[in-house]
Amino acid sequence: MKQTVLLLGSGALKIGEAGEFDYSGSQAIKALKEEGVRVILVNPNIATIQTSEGLADEIYFLPVTAAFVEKVIAKEHPNGILLSFGGQTALNCGIDLYRQGILKKYHVSILGTPISAILATEDRKEFVEKLATIGVPTARGKTVFRMHDIAAVARDIGYPVMVRAGFALGGMGSGIATNLRELERLAQNALAMSPQIVIEQSLFGWKEVEYEVVRDKNDNCITVCNMENLDPVGIHTGESIVVAPSQTLNDSEYYRFRQMSIQAIRMLGIIGECNIQFAIHPTSGEILVIEVNARLSRSSALASKATGYPLAYVAAKLAIGKTLPEIPNLMTGQTTAFFEPAIDYIVVKMPRWDLDKFSRVENTIGSEMKSVGEVMSIARSFEEAIQKASRMLHDGYAGVIDPLFVGEKKSALLNKLTHSTTIRLFTICSAIYRGISIDEIYRRTNIDRWFLYKLQNIVSVYKELEVANHLDTALLLKAKKFGFSDKQIADIRKVAEKVIRNKRSLSHIRPFTKRIDTMAGEFPAITNYLYCTYNATGSDPLPASNKPRIMALGCGPYSIGTSVEFDWCAVNTVQTLKKHGYEVIMVNCNPETVSTDFDISDRLYFEELSQERILDIYAAEHAPCIVSVGGQVSNNLAFPLAVAGVPIVGTKPANIYRAEHRKTFSNLLDSLHIPQPEWGEVRSLESAIKKVQRIGFPILVRPSFVLSGKAMDVIHNEKDLVSYVQHHQFDLIEYPMVMTKFLTGALEFDLDGVAQVGKQLVWAPNFIISWFPRRLRLCTHFM
């Protein structure tokens, strides 16, 4: 009889639990099915790959809570349950099932990491005591259950103190208190969401390092990846820029971290994978353990994509009793999973925020997570990698130096450096540009000088580009090696982007394609997991194929309006094309996605979704593009790619433009005699005031070619209109503002359909509000 395993998903996407758990759950299902295991999945998230037909044997779209999961257990009678692939939601549910006696009642075993280890990592008091028995130090602190006790505990430790909520997600409820008043506020909020809080010494300003560690039932242990946060302790790792492998550790520190990681995973009895976060004092070298996550996390997904080591896949195999030497290395096909990856490149992870979509929200960052997504860039130097990552965010930055900030006064920049914000990186580079010393920036930010000097290198090249009388081949190549894009160079030199691209082409300056193989070239890789770099002397050879090729563009970083639904579209597109005999090339830069698993597509380029980079890849692959499955980011590339000569599969770029461009779309509606609300397109405050006199308040305002209502608002009077236009003046340079009569009381419907010509057109008796000629949602309002 087949073994049956119950897998708990993470439920709805939320800050701290996003697409990374779709990735880990999908990998787990794949690993279990290979071993002949019957998989039962509980996850109510319909937009995920793991809930698609053909993966799990049975799927229950139910809340991941003890009450609902018990009903599934009673019906399916699983032999075991997996808790570590669904984030904190699955872990908390598993703890409830254990404490309520449900698992014991139905004779269900917890697979992989035992419940004792899970409880030890979640209960701070037990966690500290266990690590103390093996001499692994943690921050001084105490677990508190009542408000009455907080003052005495903080007094014993000494201010400032860190407050953490137990069993919490994404640092929720945490913060640093410098006095009793701040402590009371933090503690009250934390105790409202958790039965316990931890008050401990603040390590703000220390460096933070993470390790991904794996252990099997026979006590075989490996460290898969070590990562270093650019930001100091006190900034949640989900909010920080993260670099892999670590760049500022010496050999002694590296050895100590590795030894402490293995000691900790053995003492806690974890089987599978865990994430360990450390703090190291920047001058004394003292090391403390911050926390251990006895489950897969966003850092696990990053480490897996950074190294090519399939952590979730391996962890699932270990959970059902396999050992590391028994599991093959899928990247090489010649070695086993019992090895520590060696990488000959550098990876930079950068978070993506969408705080501008909310009013009265501060852009400061700290111990509580606010980011909604992230990107991962791969290169051969830190300078190249961080410049690529800044563009991958699709927040309008051409690189780490932005003209919007470099003109600021030194006093304003110095004040901004004191506070950690979402634009901190760009503020630092602007400060360097304005002549503020590295020592002064370090004093205000606590960011290691190694990173600051690397950013200074980029600023130096920026200034070279500004003052050079002539952009010669040597300077152009230098700029490309330091991560400057064609557009960035063009903006500095005040020429068109195509001028730089043509000059680069004539000078034979092209990026090289390199392969990720987990073994730094010691063994040949059988996969095609690729990235582009200018810091190389040649490309790695790629196998030839006679199959027709298609390139699919992914969604880029998750943001509000772009989430796992686009990864679902991309993965299903790839799978369908492969079934029809195509060789599929995937381009994406999001480490949380299933589409960036190395074994999903025939070739994976972990790269920027920019016109420049897609043209570079097209020059090597000569594959037509599908842009309709990656959301607005890839959809916006359709027209410029087509103009540059790249064939676009599906809806013609001209028709995409006709739907996205309001004036062209309006003309189409008029030609079809379909009524539409009054509207106007403006680029200045003066024209906006003139147009609104014709349209009349209230109006709906938004830029063109944007996603999920970004910068969209309802305006009821001229005063609010003036305020809106002044606030969004910078956006109007690139995108005109569309003003449409707001249909008060209108109903909204979401309808999906694909016409034979590849368009989606839905109309209602009175008004068509929007039309999207791409997969996913379209929105129709009518009175």
Tell me which DSSP letter residue 631 carries.
Answer: -
- Cα within 13 Å of Cα(783), Cβ side: 9
The three state secondary structure string of 10-58 is: CCCCECCECCHHHHHHHHHHHHHHHCCCEEEEECCCCCCCCCCCCCCCE
Is 140-201 CATH 3.40.640.10? Answer: no
The pLDDT of residue 734 is: 63
Q: Which two tokens stand for residue 380?
A: 């051969």
Q: How confident is the model at residue 19 (pLDDT cuts 50, 70, 90)?
A: confident
CA distances from 100 to 54, 93, 94, 97, 105 (A): 33, 11, 10, 5, 9
Which of 669-678, 708-717, 729-738 shows the highest mean pLDDT?
669-678
Please give the pLDDT value at position 662.
Answer: 79
pLDDT in tens, 355-368: 776 766 778 888 78
Calpha distance 438→639 (Å, rounded): 43
**Domain 4-111, what architecture?**
3-Layer(aba) Sandwich (3.40)
In 3D space, the residue among 230, 207, 211 whose CA is nearest the CA of residue 281 turns out to be: 207
Task: Determine if the peptide bond prior to 245 is cis (ω within 30°).
Answer: yes
Q: Which pLDDT value is given to residue 188?
A: 84
Question: For the segment 53-85, what is each residue's pLDDT rounded down to a tens digit?
Answer: 889 999 999 999 999 999 999 999 999 999 999
Higher pLDDT, 543 or 277: 277
CA pair distance 330, 517, nearest whole angstrom = 10
Query: Which class does domain 512-658 fall in?
Result: alpha beta
pLDDT at 520: 66
pLDDT tens sequence across 184-239:
888 888 887 777 788 888 888 899 999 999 999 999 999 999 999 999 998 888 89
The dotted CATH code for 350-503 is: 1.10.1030.10
Nearest to 588 by CA among 619, 564, 620: 564
Say what percent of the chain tops pLDDT 90. Answer: 55
Rounded CA separation 346/149 (Å)? 46
pLDDT of residue 409: 87
C-alpha separations of 30 from 9, 50, 92, 264 in Å: 14, 10, 24, 29
Classified as helix, coil or strand, 673 is: coil
Report d(CA 400, CA 534) in Å as an integer.
18
Contact by Cβ (8 Å): 456, 488: no
CATH class assigned to 207-341: alpha beta
Please identify which residue in the block is written with the tokens 């501008």.
356
- pLDDT at residue 608 is higher than 90: yes
SS3 content of the chain, % helix, strand, coil (to 5): 40, 20, 45
Structure tokens at 435: 């002549």
> pLDDT > 70: what percent of the chain?
91
Give 280-321 pLDDT, tens digit per residue: 999 999 999 998 988 888 888 999 999 999 999 999 999 999
Rounded (10°) angle between helices 115-122 and 251-268: 120
Structural tokens at position 452: 């600051």
Mean pLDDT, the chain, as a whole number? 87
pLDDT at 709: 58
* Confidence band for 783, pLDDT divided at 50, 70 and 90: very low
Task: Look at residue 586 and give its three-state secondary structure.
Answer: strand
616 vs 537: CA distance, rounded Å: 17
Which residue, 533, 549, 615, is CA-closest to 585?
549
How many other CB atoms sit within 10 Å of the CB of residue 255?
11
How far is it between the farthest Cα atoms of the chain? Answer: 79
Answer yes or no: is pLDDT of 758 > 60: no
Domain ranges of the chain: 4-111, 140-201, 207-341, 350-503, 512-658, 661-741, 752-782
126-138 confidence digits (pLDDT tens): 888 899 999 999 9
Residue 12 or residue 16, greater confidence? 12
69 three-class SS: helix
The answer on pLDDT for 407 being more than 50 is yes
Q: Considering only 217-221, 392-396, 399-403, 757-761, which range has the smallest mean pLDDT?
A: 757-761
CA separation, residue 771 to residues 361, 700, 743, 751 (Å): 31, 16, 17, 10
CA distance 573 to 636: 19
Length of the chain: 783
Q: Helix/strand/coil (H, E, C) string of 180-236?
A: HHHHHHHHHHHHHHCCCEEEEECCCCCEEEEEEEEECCCCCEEEEEEEEECCCCCCC
CATH of region 661-741, choose from 3.40.50.9100, 3.40.190.10, 3.30.1490.20, 3.40.30.10: 3.30.1490.20
- pLDDT tens for residues 718-746? 998 888 887 766 556 666 788 888 877 66
Query: What confidence score (pLDDT) does residue 766 get?
Result: 37
Whether 628 and 660 have beta carbons less than 8 Å apart is answered as no
Query: What's this model's pTM, rounded to 2 decimal places?
Result: 0.89
For residues 26-58, one letter each, b for 16 or more C-beta atoms within 10 angstroms of the residue's C-beta and e for the rest, the string is bbbbbbbbeeebbbbbbbbbebbbbbbeebbbe
- Tokens 């004779």 correspond to what residue? 107
Q: Where are the alpha helices (DSSP H) in 544-596?
A: 564-579
Place 773 in a pLDDT band, splitting at 50, 70 and 90.
very low
At 747 the pLDDT is: 59
Residue 572: which pLDDT band, with cuts at 50, 70 and 90? very high
Cα gap 255→278, rounded to integer Å: 13
**CA 642, CA 625: separation in Å to the nearest integer?**
9
Instruction: Please give the pLDDT value at position 770.
Output: 46
22 contacts 48 by C-beta, under 8 angstroms: yes
Peptide bond into 543 cis (omega under 30): no
How many whole angstroms separate alpha carbon 546 and alpha carbon 315?
Answer: 36
**Do the first three CATH levels of 4-111 and 207-341 match, i.e. the same topology?**
no
